[in-house]
Amino acid sequence: MTVHDPIDVEVIRKDFPLLTRTVHDRPIVYLDSASSSLQPRQVLAAMDHYYETTHANVHRGVYATAEGATELYEGARRKVGRFIGAPDPKREIVFTKNATEALNLVANSWGRSNLAKGDVVVLTEMEHHANLVPWLMLAESIGLSLRYLPIDGQGRLDLSDLDRIVDGAKVVALSAMSNVLGTINPVPTIAEAAHRAGAVVVVDGAQSVPHLPTNVTTLGADFLAFSAHKMEGPTGIGVLWGRAELLAAMPPFLGGGGMILDVSLEGFTPAEPPWRFEAGTPPIAEAVGLAAAVDYLTGVGMEHIVAHERLITTYAIEALHERLGPDCTIFGPPPGGDRGGVLSLAYRDVHAHDLAQVLDQFGVCVRPGHHCAKPLMRKLGVTATARASIGLYNDERDIDTLIEGLNHVGTVFG
Amino acid sequence: MPGLEDLYREIILDHYRSPRNRGELPSPPAHRVEGFNPLCGDEVVVSLDVADGQLRDIKLAGSGCSISQSSGSLMSAAVKGKPIDEVRELIRVFKTMMSVHEASLGDDRTTGAEDSPAEPEPVDVSKLGELAALQGVVKFPVRIKCATLSWNALTQGLDELASA
Ligand SMILES: Cc1ncc(COP(=O)(O)O)c(C=O)c1O
């Protein structure tokens, strides 16, 4: 059975200037979108246009360009809010530096004002360090009790003990999609159990928001963090969505200009959310770029992106198995509805660094290493994998080149 | 453009496949140092048996890529049984080779070379014997840290012994 691909990759690829370059005299094969995606020219043009016509600091001046910049910046906020189904897009989107900062904001601002010694925080064994270290830091400072949802042999969360693990928890923080295994976690099910137990649900959407339609209400999230640079947007800007009443009760995270209502020599009154959490000059051009990225993704259609990436992911898993057999191990679940396009690979006993080095000669960009998930790597029994990750601009030929490169690894390392 | 053959020389692959001086020495009496590359998770454990100004024995354990493993194996073969000052000199020459200035790479790429001296002194690779096979690594700047992992651990171990 052939499944119809709703995306015309040839057309999409023309939007991404970086895909026209060559590496070692071969066309670039970009398979590292989980690390950072490429940007379409529409995003680059929006940022250029902003700098060329409208740049000024926001929330300050009364002149035309300052108003224009403020409107673009606040317009980006509303657009991003609508993209993830935020009930109150104007007030619930906080712009940060990246997903990591968004998660640190939650752990520090919400965490320090709502958690005390001995409180239970539930994480999972597959968390990125960004959703692990901030909680470990908080635990070190105030004495939390950390529990972990385990993973099973196929790289899915084992939920058989879910109710017992979340019982009494104040926070359940988990990634919606693993950046190592590609597993798409059943966040709504976990959030329901967490809420029954009275916990707040923090979702790391760094991998899910770029690749799956997102609605914070159906997810059951109380907070959602993600980064623009993994969703065809620029580096330097990330997002924290938080439920309005939670944000309203939180103290500021960073202090400075822009986040206050009033300041005296004795003290200060913080501004309302989201501005309370945006100290200093924000990433304005980046917000413009992020808004253009949202337009781009919406234009292609998130449903189409899911369908296309699932086709390529399935093709990749099947082709790797068929053509490389037992030489190649793919970590994570088999193709299916809970399988995203992140393929952590091992080839024979060749180290991931060496794999990536040989693949580079074929123009193939994959990431070797622990992918900022060392506890998970330990659980998988490896120190590093080579990770190939799929974006909307990848096609079957990219996978074929990956396999050609892997075959050559066999030749070099015998 | 550097090719794979610059990196994966036959000697390197040989030391990767059959590493010399593999294992650990009982510690104590041997001195044990761990080296760690946080970037890729490579680990090396160097055990040193030093007496009367001589590195009497050395063993390496740990795991990592072909470059870190073969560099450690080549190092162990080169320093085992040598007087400490000769070992120190070899470390210096090797580290200099690994820190060549980009100008001497023959192209305009910037290197991630460690401790790049402003004026690189020429390296007499003839002093290095088989270790010269690792010369190609400098053309792949991100791999330099792999090649120097066990050397840094060895240096640390010798420093610790000297100040003990
Ligand atoms: C699951 C997950 N969470 C968080 C992050 C952190 O993203 P950033 O580095 O943009 O803050 C990443 C990306 O590296 C990720 O994959």
Q: Do B1 and A353 touch (CB under 8 A)?
A: no
CATH of A9-30+301-412, one of 3.40.50.300, 3.40.50.2300, 3.90.1150.10, 3.90.1150.200: 3.90.1150.10
A280: left (phi over 0), alpha (psi -120 to 50) or beta: left
Residue B121: its pLDDT value, please? 64
The contacts of residue A163 (CB under 8 Å, 6+ apart) are A193, A196, A197
What does A130-174 look like in DSSP terms, one character per residue?
Answer: GGTHHHHHHHHHH--EEEEE-B-TTSSB--TTHHHHHTTEEEEEE
Mean pLDDT of chain B: 85
Residue A6: its pLDDT value, please? 94
Judge contact between B9 and B136, C-beta under 8 A.
yes
Q: Do B42 and A383 touch (CB under 8 A)?
A: yes
The contacts of residue A266 (CB under 8 Å, 6+ apart) are none
User: Mean of the pLDDT values across residues B70-78?
Assistant: 95
Q: What is the pTM of this model?
A: 0.92
Q: What are the backbone dihedrals phi and psi of residue B147, each rounded to the nearest 5 degrees, phi first?
A: -70, -30
Of A139, A200, A271, A372, catalytic: A372
pLDDT of B23-62, one tens digit each?
999 988 999 999 988 776 788 999 999 999 999 999 999 9
The domains spanning A9-30+301-412 and A44-299 adopt the same CATH topology: no
Q: Count CB-CB contacts under 10 A for residue B56.
A: 14
Residue A26: its pLDDT value, please? 95
Q: Is the peptide bond before B2 cis (omega within 30 degrees of 0)?
A: no
User: Mean of the pLDDT values across residues A284-306?
Assistant: 98
Q: How far is B141 from chain A (nearest CA, A)?
A: 12
How far CA A262 is from CA of A36, A244, A256, B139, in Å, comes to 39, 22, 11, 56
What does B63-122 look like in DSSP terms, one character per residue?
Answer: E--HHHHHHHHHHHHHHTT-BHHHHHHHHHHHHHHHT--GGGGTSS-----TT--SSPPP
pLDDT of A316-349, one tens digit each?
999 999 999 999 999 999 999 999 999 999 999 9
- Per-residue burial over B133-147, b = 16 or more CB atoms within 10 Å of its CB, e = otherwise: bbbbbbbbbebbbbb
pLDDT of B140-154, one tens digit each?
888 899 999 999 999
Enumerate the domain spans of chain A. Answer: 9-30+301-412, 44-299
For the question of residue A372 being annotated catalytic, the response is: yes
User: Which residue numbers of B have CB closer than 8 Å to A's CBs?
Assistant: 1, 3-4, 7-8, 13, 17, 39-43, 63-67, 140, 143, 146
Does residue A388 carry a pLDDT above 90? yes
- DSSP H stretches of helix in A143-262: 162-166, 187-196, 216-219, 244-248
The top-level CATH class assigned to A44-299 is alpha beta
How buried is A326 (Cβ within 10 angstroms: 0-12 exposed, 13-18 middle, 19+ buried)? exposed
Closest CA to A285 of A67, A45, A78: A45
Residue B5: its pLDDT value, please? 86
Lowest mean pLDDT among A185-194, A364-373, B128-137: B128-137
Question: Whose CA is closest to atom 12 on ligand 1?
Answer: A206
Residue A361: its pLDDT value, please? 94
Closest residue in A to B12 (Cα) is A413
Protein fold of B4-104+122-163: Sufe protein. Chain: A (3.90.1010)
Q: Do B4 and A358 touch (CB under 8 A)?
A: yes
The contacts of residue B15 (CB under 8 Å, 6+ apart) are B69, B70, B73, B74, B77
- Mutation choice for ligand 1 from A33, A36, A100, CB with most ligand atoms inside 8 A: A100
Q: How far is A232 from chain B (nearest CA, A)?
A: 25
pLDDT of B86-125, one tens digit each?
999 999 999 999 986 433 444 444 444 444 444 556 677 7
Q: How far is A353 from chain B (nearest CA, A)?
A: 6
Can you tell me which atom of ligand 1 is nearest the CA of A230? Answer: 10
% helix / strand / coil in chain A, to the nearest 5?
45, 20, 35
